[in-house]
Chains A and B, each alone.
Chain A
Amino acid sequence: MTGTAHVLVAVLALAALALILRLVRMQALKAKYSVLWLTVGVVLSVAAAVPGVLDRVADEVGVAYQPALFLLLGFGFLLLLAMHFSYELSRLETRVRTLAEELALLRHEVEEREED
């Protein structure tokens, strides 16, 4: 990466971090979901701020083409995120079902009382 590109990525990553923190403070984003995103923000910031860190890591793990490592990490992260969402969705569905059941039972109870 050239110097300008580094600056650009660093600025974007920091902006993303700021946005995430702001959303959490506004309670528009639950803290538990922010963890994953903050991790990405920090990793990106470090990678952008310290030139050569990505190259060194790539050398360590034996990846010859450094951008490939970056893409691999990105892909892995997205998979993780998608899985996390599926998990949360399943939980939500269970809760919605239970709520619907509860509502039906309460409706029934109210209707019974009204008849008396």
Chain B
Amino acid sequence: MRTTAVIPAFNEAEALPTVLAELAATLPDHEVIVVDDGSTDGTAAVARAAGATCLRLPVNLGIGGALRLGFRHALASGVDRAYQFDGDGQHDPSQVGVLLDGLDGADMVVGSRFAGNGAYRVSRSRGLAMGLLRWLVRRTTGQGFSDTSSGFRAFRRPVLELFATEYPVEYMDSVEALLLAHRRGFRLAEVPVTMRERQGGTPSTRNLRLAYHFVRVLIVLTAGMGRRPRPVAAA
């Protein structure tokens, strides 16, 4: 079974070499696609030097846009499953196996920081927003996810087919993607994983922006409510 990692990277030249080296050491038979999201620090060169496939976007599209491209490329190159992986060292390669095992009973698996393993702390406003999102997702999908915004996820090919064209491209894409997959009738699952504190950089979001996007996701949710779930084309 062919498996690929999709790593969206925006100015991650510093952290990326370690991340890629660790991945290659832990999971040597996995392909790696790095999507350089309009970086200005040589991210692409670093990725290529490490032997990864690197797609360079001419402008910064944001994580969602970068992921969509990564999924699209993974699909075109014929993989059976793919997983999202962070370029900043937050995700642990040793946990990828846990994530992929989850695909045995689901089409899409979310690795959760909060579902048991490890201790991971977030600020209060972030915690509040996450709590609200958790509640919303539970109400909409009827399924509890303890970490709706986790970017540590794995997908089977049918989900990749959906995401290659319709992955939500705005910030908070992770929540939207969860709801989209649910609406299209895919089986979702959550598995507990451990994560590390991010190794470099600051969390990309300020509170105001968080609030704005929270409202935006609410609108997306409301707009999607009346829509009947479309059947999946091919399983």
Does residue A57 face the partner (Cβ distance < 8 Å to B)?
no
Q: How many inter-chain residue pairs (CB < 8 Å) link A and B?
A: 33
Identify A108's interface contact among B56, B59, B68, CB under 8 A: B56
Pair B55/A100 contact, Cβ less than 8 Å:
no
Pair B57/A108 contact, Cβ less than 8 Å:
no
CA distance A100 to B36 in the complex (A): 12
Identify B55's interface contact among A96, A97, A108, CB under 8 A: A108
Pair B53/A103 contact, Cβ less than 8 Å:
no
Number of A positions contacting B (CB below 8 A): 9
Closest residue of A by beta carbon distance from B53: A108
Chain B: number of interface residues, binned into ranges: 10 to 19
Does residue B73 face the partner (Cβ distance < 8 Å to A)?
yes
Pair B59/A101 contact, Cβ less than 8 Å:
no
**Min CB–CB distance B8 → chain A (angstroms):** 12
CA distance A96 to B59 in the complex (A): 10
CB contacts under 8 Å to A, within B17-65, are 35, 53-59, 61, 65
Pair A101/B54 contact, Cβ less than 8 Å:
no
Interface flags for B175-217 (1: CB within 8 Å of A; 0: not) read: 0000000000000000000000000000000000000000000
Find the residue from A100, A107, A108 having the highest chain B CB count within 10 A: A100
CA distance A107 to B65 in the complex (A): 17
CB contacts under 8 Å to B, within A96-115, are 96-97, 100-101, 103-105, 107-108
A interface list, Cβ under 8 A from B: 96-97, 100-101, 103-105, 107-108
In the A-B complex, the 9 residue pairs with the smallest Cβ-Cβ separation, listed nearest first, are: A104-B55, A101-B69, A104-B57, A108-B55, A103-B58, A100-B57, A107-B56, A104-B56, A100-B58
